[in-house]
Amino acid sequence: MRKLSMTFVMLCGALVSGCQGEELEQPAHEQPRGTGTESSVASIRQGVVSAELAASLSCIETYVNAGTCDWAHWSELWDTCQAYAHPELDDGFFIDEVQSGNCTAANWPTLREQIIAPRSPAVRVRESCDVGSQVIQEAGSNGCHTLAAVASGSYVDVPMGKAVTLHAGTNCTGDSVTVENDANLCETSFESGASANDQVRSFRIQDVVALPSPYSYDCGANEPTCVKNFNSRLGALNKKHTVKLVRVTLAGRTTPSMATIRGNVVDLYNYYAVASRHQVSLQITGTQTVAVTSTNCADAKGQARRAVTGASAFLTVYSLPSGLCSTSNAGSNSVNLRGSLYRDYAHEVGHVLGLAHSSVRDPATGKVTSSGDSSSYMGIFASDNYTLPQLHWLGWTKKEELVKVNSAIDSGGFIDVTLRPLGTNADNTSSLPLGAVWDNPDTDQRLFIAVPKPRTNGTNQIEGGTVFVHRAPKCEGCTGMAMNTMQLARFGARSVNEHKADALFVKPVGFTSNFVQESGKSVEVFTSVTVRIRK
């Protein structure tokens, strides 16, 4: 074993994985909102326009006035106006409006207000068992809600993280049934066995609360190194996921086979089982092949949704015919996939779980490459995993696996932290932490310092032992597609330089590794990297 100077510090958990530098087609995100066929994936946020957001909006307005706030100029606009830096512009709504041709001078005043307005997912009761039918009542707050005397319900939209108890009587009385996913009441029964269709007169909304565990924890006042997780939906995320598979066909076009669709979903959930430490599991509740007739992407997806039968699921996977849609996308509890790439499954389902894009900022030029981070499935390149801040947001890390370094830096000027590589995020008995975290006291942002891979492999060009620094929001009160990350720095374990990332300087000062023989070649496997962190 090779060992360089390794300074001690803190605490514990993961394993290995691998990675090639092949660029893939951007999965794209025509995040549906208000279309009547797909629910929006939205984020709750403060209705305050910061100076930085105002500058981005002003920049976008120059494109609007020039008639170039369109899909052809999207990448340029995204980088130039730093849209990636703001959840308001990166929760899927804005990109959908651009793709739909709604980012025009005439529509800009309305669109701007929609962008900055808080978009809280609501429970919606619909008049018929068609997912796209008329909404007769909606509510966003917890508590009991009684429908108007002449109204009943046949379909209910349920945002992730909420449980809705449907009642046959007013004021949340009488026969009832509780649902945590969208529910078609034509196929839902009350506890008595009676049909709930057209019989719902009231409903109660409450949060799905995660039970205390090593992954759902509180930070005490005497725990300065504890990194708080503000995701309120851990109870809804970390459980058995019911998944429905829908193969959409269209005459003259090809669609991946049901076996291929099932294989990708099983592979994805095998990965989730490891990365979540077996908090997430899979139950495929049904498969269905649906024939559509429209060659228009949106219309065909609407036809497919209306044709799906059976109980609703945590996730519905729609595999689309080739060439029907230009992009894949995610809705609140569904994904629409235009091909059969496994990484597209991981990317789009990541959106359903609450993850946004993973971008890269060039430390020399400041130029940002949208979705360019190959260390995460939430970029557009081949990857092995999500970033550490995204895994933390999902509730897939223990309290002792992250070390908050603010107090140590404030009191001592610097801190040395020895990290173990993330790999697949499999549970591990090591006492070393996965990441060092610095909370920026002036913003809602954090810096995560981590080592994504213990060894180089064939997935991408990330070398074993490489240190990454990511910026991510704390995201207090966020829901929906909220957890975006920005790669600020990337350097090898043998680097002798300090690397600046926002207000911090990070330098590797030691590592441990060993060599294994594979196919006649010697491959270096890193077991730890020690970094010195200062302001």
CA 233 vs. chain centroid, Å, equals 12
The confidence score (pLDDT) of residue 23 equals 33
Enter the pTM of the model.
0.81
pLDDT at 28: 40
Does residue 252 come out as left (phi exceeding 0), alpha (psi in the -120 to 50 range) or beta?
left
Counted residue by residue, the chain has a size of 535
Q: What is the pLDDT of residue 392?
A: 98
Alpha helices in 284-374 (DSSP H): 297-307, 342-353
Strands 499-501 and 240-249 turn out to be unpaired
- The per-residue DSSP string of 53-102 comes to HHHHHHHHHHHHHHT--SGGGHHHHHHHTTGGG-GGGSSSHHHHHHHTT-
The Cα–Cα gap between 104 and 107 comes to: 5
Tokens of 379: 């970029």
pLDDT score of 134: 83
pLDDT of residue 80: 84
pLDDT for 89: 79
pLDDT at 4: 31
**CA contacts within 13 A on the Cβ side of 325:** 27
Q: What is the pLDDT of residue 84?
A: 63
What's the confidence (pLDDT) of residue 35? 31
Please give the order of strands across the beta sheet that includes 445-450: 368-369, 355-361, 483-491, 467-473, 445-450, 435-439, 402-404
CA 418 to chain centre: 28
Distance from C-alpha of 88 to C-alpha of 55, rounded to nearest angstrom:
13
Mean pLDDT per 10-residue segment, the chain (535 residues): 31 29 37 32 44 87 95 81 72 75 93 80 86 84 89 86 94 95 91 94 93 93 96 95 97 97 98 98 97 91 87 92 89 89 95 92 89 94 96 98 97 96 96 97 94 94 96 88 93 97 97 94 96 97
Q: What is the DSSP letter of 308?
A: -
What whole-number distance in Å separates Cα of residue 123 and Cα of residue 237? 18
For 21, 376, 455, the CA distances from 461, given in Å and listed in that order, are 5, 13, 11
What does the alpha-carbon distance between residue 272 and residue 346 come to, in Å, rounded to a whole number?
9
| 3-state DSSP assignment of residue 134 | coil
pLDDT at 283: 97
User: Can you give the pLDDT at residue 119?
Assistant: 63
| Alpha-carbon distances, residue 438 vs 76, 177, 357, 398, 402 (angstroms) | 31, 44, 21, 17, 10
pLDDT of residue 91: 56
**Structural contact between residues 220 and 226, judged by C-beta atoms closer than 8 angstroms:** yes
Rounded to whole angstroms, how far apart are CA atoms 389 and 378?
A: 12
- Pick from 368, 414, 395: which is nearest to 483 by CA? 395
